Amino acid sequence: MSETQFAAATERLRANGIELAGTTGTLSKDGVTAKYVYGEGKLAVEIVDRPFMLPISLIEGKLQSYLEQSIAYDSSKAR
């Protein structure tokens, strides 16, 4: 993930109520809390708390969807 793609992902997540403040930190929404680190072209996200009835796979899938849409949108702007 390039810095431009990370910036696009940050904007998309913000539009969906998830704030990334810088390249490292904690994000939170709807009872889900995660730590994130962006560096050397990679974004690592670790879910540290969630509602008991909310499967981790669902959270990961939703976050992955946001990120993939951001990367695809950024790529389409570059053409």
Contact between 26 and 35 under an 8 Å Cβ cutoff? The reply is yes
Which CATH number fits the domain that encloses residue 60?
A: 3.30.310
Q: Per-block average pLDDT, block size 10, for the chain (79 residues)? A: 85 85 91 93 92 92 81 58
Contact between 34 and 43 under an 8 Å Cβ cutoff? The reply is no
Q: Identify the pLDDT of residue 12.
A: 83
The domain in which residue 23 lies consists of 3-77
Q: Identify the pLDDT of residue 46.
A: 93
Q: What is the DSSP track for 1-70?
A: --HHHHHHHHHHHHHTT----SSEEEEEETTEEEEEEEETTEEEEEEEE--TTS-HHHHHHHHHHHHHHH
Domain count, the chain: 1
- Please tell me the pTM assigned to this model: 0.78
Q: Identify the pLDDT of residue 74.
A: 53
